[in-house]
Chain A
Amino acid sequence: MTTMTLEQDIDAATDANQYLTFQLGGEEYGLEILKVQEIKGLSAITTMPNTPAHVKGVTNLRGAVVPIVDLRIRFGIEERPYDRFTVFIITSVGTKVVGLVVDAVEDVIDLPPESIQPVPELTSALGGAYVRGIAQIQERLVALLDIEKIVSADLELIERS
């Protein structure tokens, strides 16, 4: 066993290893905290014409017009009405700010890189294509999302259309 130096200590606690976990269709997902700008309660969504179903519309984030993506629809999970736990996770990917609708936020957890497993070929989690790793914390399995992939898939879709 090695002694932790102060630097390592600080390192371990840096944001880079922190994940925000949330609920979606009974599964637990995680997002790198560095990509999360804020968590926001529901606010009015303005629908937009000719957009995919999971793009629910745009909302006003302190004067910025931000698109809202419903991850349930995105991952093919059955839709259900928004309730008091439903929140927007506002993420920033590159220069774009995008809001994700999730069932509920859970926790902020530390996950050292070595605790993240590659995605098993037959992943039970829906939205498997956008999962970049799985972490097991005691009994909980957390699917870590590749937010860039989720958003850029949308952007590609855009460029084609």
Chain B
Amino acid sequence: MTFMAEFRDAFFEESAEHVAAVEQGLLALDSGAADSEQMNAIFRAAHSVKGLAATLGFPEIAAFTHDMESVLDRLRSGTLAVTPKLGQLLLRANDTLKALLAAAQAGQGSEVDTAEVTGELRAALGAPTTEAETVVAPQSTPAAGAPRTYAIRLLPKRQLFASGQDPMLIVRELTELGHDVSVVCDTTRLPAIDALDPDLCHLIWVVKVTTTASRDEIANVFLFAEDECEHSVRDVTDDPSRAGVAAHAPPLKTPGSDGKPVAAEAASIRVPTDKIDALVDLVGELVISQAMVNQIASDFDMGRLGELQEALASLDRSTRDLQERVMSVRMLPVATVFNRFPRLVRDVSNTLGKKVRLEMQGAETELDKGMIERIGDPLTHLVRNAIDHGLETPADRIAAGKGDTGTVTLRAAHEGGSVVIDVADDGRGLNTKRIREKAEANGLIRPDEVLSDDEINALIFAPGFSTAAQVSDLSGRGVGMDVVKRNVEGMSGSVTLTSTEGKGSRVRIRLPLTLAILDGLIVSVGGASYVLPLLSVVESLRPTPRDVRNILGSGEVLVLRGESLPFVRLHAVFGHDVAITEPSRGIIVIAETDGRRFGLLVDDVLGQQQVVIKNLEANYRKLDGVMGATILGDGRVSLICDVQELFRWTTTRREAAEQLLAAVSTSGEEFA
């Protein structure tokens, strides 16, 4: 039996929380906002990691955390003063701990160098030369030698029971030490029955046992009862010739030594009990509603129609509630992501010499776990950007008539069926003129194109806008705003930007509440229904025959308000022979992906609906142009189109056609 296999994931999950808590606590400490309870909380977090790491067999982590814990212990007891330098050291130690945990989780050994930080921690304790107390599991000392016979007398204090001790257990443990056991009970202390207090211990025992156990081992039986139970051990071995059989030492055991790191990371989620309780309640309601429907149906006449409708309505309500609650199990507060920003803002602003105040609002807003994990990087990029490019230096701010400290605001909120996350700054705002110049230089727009300021500002999200020349140390890292946009769109979300020159800018990320449900546009093609993610849909229209043109080299295009858009025939993509092939008799849905618009020819648009996304890979495989499947109200499976892939599909098809044409023409030449 080992903890390792069962609790490895739980350990890393919990440790990550503790590391985050330590970091938050240290930052609060740094700003002077920490009280003693917070100090205790930091200590406890480190202490917990140490205990867990040691128990699960991560001695390096345990040893390192021990040093951190010692410093924290001195801080909370007030025997060590909180200084900015010490705060920095502890933050670094916490980072090292994070790295140690990550390495251990990945199954890598001692690749993290802890020596320097450990040294500094010990120096801070004023005990640089002392070796850290290594946390090792107590090992059972091997018993050896010839068996001896002992008479052991137990004289418990009368109050023995009050401490939860049971003298019979001590007697039993003694008898289990060896063989030839005899136990005598001395009842002389026992009072008369009418004077007997059953809460007190009145009996005395003498245990005689022949054993190879050492005197230490015998004393160990009384480990918990040293104060409550006087005892004497007398060696009464009357026949020394019995010696001879040497006992074998039991093998040494170290906890967790047999637990090997598991390579695969199992995705798990911790759910508060009240959420589960609510689910159980709802299932109960659902069962009752269903029983009602059954009961009415078993004995139905039209006179009970009203009753049936009512029962169905209640069933419907319970089902919907249950759906919402089940989804909420996957929800985590965005605080899980927001918490990394105080540290980040501090580091970035220090590096850039800017004064920044971070404001966070709505950190309790909940978001699907899958998105929480994926939104971190885009947000980090936006926050860095806001400080690096958005905010001015203190001098510039004062010159502009603002306070010297800039503000970056992170705000999360529910809005309708989606979650909105804003990253705003009160800096200089976007320089629309420079963006236009750069976009022209990069060939994103033509010099004569007429664009509104918002349209020009939105160009910073266009692929190919941020060029290597512009990459700065901080926000650049080779990733531009286009990556932010793509990441967010990958979660079926959208990004918009508003900016006022001189006042600041705001990037707004809008995400669906969950990845498991999607707002869909249901379309029909060749008698089958398909789902298009509503977020990618711009509009749908029925073109006139004149709107569709065949342009040499570009194939079929749809001319919409002077703009020519490529379009895909969904019936061709999905292989339907019987479908509307004449665009002017069907509907063209205009979709947008990566800022590019294109048309999708369908037979008809059937309506809008929320659909639950099922993946095809569960039992089959990924299909081109399909992001998943869903089950519609009629019980049929419907495929959900992957708009991004469909767009690529058209371009590759066109390229393939062009290649084919080219091949035909060259081979034609050969024959000529």
Interface residues of A (CB under 8 A from B): 43-44, 46-51, 55, 57-60, 63-67, 96-98, 155, 158
Contacts A46-B636, A49-B574 known; A65 to B614 CB distance under 8 Å? yes
Q: Contact at B621–A158, with CB atoms within 8 Å?
A: yes
> How close is A101's CB to chain B, nearest CB, in angstroms?
15
Q: Contact at A49–B573, with CB atoms within 8 Å?
A: yes
Among candidates A44, A49, A64, residue contacting B636 with C-beta atoms closer than 8 Å: A44
> How close is B327's CB to chain A, nearest CB, in angstroms?
15
Interface-facing stretch out of B41-49, B437-445, B623-631: B623-631
Which A residues are CB-close (under 8 A) to B625?
49
> How close is B648's CB to chain A, nearest CB, in angstroms?
14
Among candidates A44, A47, A51, A67, residue contacting B635 with C-beta atoms closer than 8 Å: A44
A117 and B575 CA atoms in complex are apart in Å by 43
Q: Say if the beta carbon of B528 comes within 8 Å of chain A.
A: yes
Interface of A is mostly: strand
Q: Contact at A60–B637, with CB atoms within 8 Å?
A: yes
Which A residues are CB-close (under 8 A) to B618?
64-65, 96
B residues 592-619 near A (Cβ < 8 Å) are 614-616, 618-619
> How close is B294's CB to chain A, nearest CB, in angstroms?
19
In the A-B complex, the 7 residue pairs with the smallest Cβ-Cβ separation, listed nearest first, are A46-B637, A67-B620, A158-B621, A65-B629, A44-B636, A49-B574, A65-B614
Q: Contact at B528–A51, with CB atoms within 8 Å?
A: no
> How close is B652's CB to chain A, nearest CB, in angstroms?
13
Q: Contact at A49–B624, with CB atoms within 8 Å?
A: yes
Q: Say if the beta carbon of B165 comes within 8 Å of chain A.
A: no
Q: Contact at B631–A58, with CB atoms within 8 Å?
A: no
Among candidates A65, A67, A98, A158, residue contacting B631 with C-beta atoms closer than 8 Å: A65
Q: Say if the beta carbon of B391 comes within 8 Å of chain A.
A: no
Q: Contact at B619–A46, with CB atoms within 8 Å?
A: no
Which B residues are CB-close (under 8 A) to A63?
614, 631
Knowing that A60-B635, A155-B621 touch, tell me 20 more A-B residue pairs with CB under 8 angstroms.
A44-B634, A44-B635, A44-B636, A46-B528, A46-B636, A46-B637, A46-B638, A47-B528, A48-B623, A48-B626, A49-B574, A50-B575, A57-B637, A58-B637, A59-B637, A64-B614, A65-B615, A65-B618, A65-B631, A96-B620
> How close is B590's CB to chain A, nearest CB, in angstroms?
22
Which A residues are CB-close (under 8 A) to B575?
47, 49-50
Q: Say if the beta carbon of B639 comes within 8 Å of chain A.
A: yes
A155 and B620 CA atoms in complex are apart in Å by 8
Q: Can you offer 10 A-B residue contacts whose CB atoms are under 8 A?
A: A46-B528, A46-B636, A46-B637, A46-B638, A47-B528, A47-B575, A48-B616, A49-B626, A59-B637, A96-B620
A158 and B623 CA atoms in complex are apart in Å by 10
> How close is B61's CB to chain A, nearest CB, in angstroms?
34
Which A residues are CB-close (under 8 A) to B614?
63-65
> How close is B621's CB to chain A, nearest CB, in angstroms?
4
A34 and B634 CA atoms in complex are apart in Å by 32
A97 and B575 CA atoms in complex are apart in Å by 25
Q: Contact at A98–B619, with CB atoms within 8 Å?
A: yes
Which A residues are CB-close (under 8 A) to B631?
60, 63, 65
A92 and chain B: residue at smallest CB distance: B619
B615 and chain A: residue at smallest CB distance: A65
A67 and B623 CA atoms in complex are apart in Å by 12
Q: Contact at B620–A58, with CB atoms within 8 Å?
A: yes
A98 and B626 CA atoms in complex are apart in Å by 19
Contacts A58-B629, A63-B631 known; A48 to B619 CB distance under 8 Å? no
Which B residues are CB-close (under 8 A) to A50?
575, 623-624
B residues 103-142 near A (Cβ < 8 Å) are none
A57 and B619 CA atoms in complex are apart in Å by 12
A97 and B620 CA atoms in complex are apart in Å by 8
Contacts A47-B575, A49-B574 known; A65 to B623 CB distance under 8 Å? no
Which B residues are CB-close (under 8 A) to A98?
619
A48 and chain B: residue at smallest CB distance: B623
> How close is B323's CB to chain A, nearest CB, in angstroms?
12
Contacts A46-B638, A48-B639, A49-B573 known; A96 to B623 CB distance under 8 Å? no
Give the most central of A47, A57, A98: most B CB within 10 Å.
Answer: A47
Which A residues are CB-close (under 8 A) to B639?
46, 48
B residues 580-598 near A (Cβ < 8 Å) are none
Which A residues are CB-close (under 8 A) to B637?
44, 46, 57-60, 65
A97 and B574 CA atoms in complex are apart in Å by 24
Give the most central of B573, B618, B624, B638: most A CB within 10 Å.
Answer: B618
Contacts A65-B629, A65-B631 known; A60 to B623 CB distance under 8 Å? no
A60 and B634 CA atoms in complex are apart in Å by 10
Which A residues are CB-close (under 8 A) to B615?
65
B residues 633-653 near A (Cβ < 8 Å) are 634-639
Which B residues are CB-close (under 8 A) to A60?
631, 635-637
A82 and B107 CA atoms in complex are apart in Å by 54
A97 and B629 CA atoms in complex are apart in Å by 16
Which B residues are CB-close (under 8 A) to A51?
623
Q: Contact at B619–A66, with CB atoms within 8 Å?
A: yes
Which A residues are CB-close (under 8 A) to B638?
46
> How close is A160's CB to chain B, nearest CB, in angstroms?
11
Q: Contact at A58–B573, with CB atoms within 8 Å?
A: no
A64 and B616 CA atoms in complex are apart in Å by 9
Which B residues are CB-close (under 8 A) to A48?
616, 620, 623, 626, 639
> How close is A65's CB to chain B, nearest CB, in angstroms?
5
Among candidates B619, B623, B629, residue contacting A49 with C-beta atoms closer than 8 Å: B623
A146 and B329 CA atoms in complex are apart in Å by 40
Which A residues are CB-close (under 8 A) to B619?
64-67, 96-98
A28 and B45 CA atoms in complex are apart in Å by 66
Give the most central of A46, A47, A66: most B CB within 10 Å.
Answer: A46
A44 and B637 CA atoms in complex are apart in Å by 8
Which A residues are CB-close (under 8 A) to B629?
46, 58, 65
B631 and chain A: residue at smallest CB distance: A60
Q: Contact at B621–A58, with CB atoms within 8 Å?
A: no
B624 and chain A: residue at smallest CB distance: A50
B residues 490-532 near A (Cβ < 8 Å) are 528
> How close is B612's CB to chain A, nearest CB, in angstroms?
9
> How close is A70's CB to chain B, nearest CB, in angstroms?
14
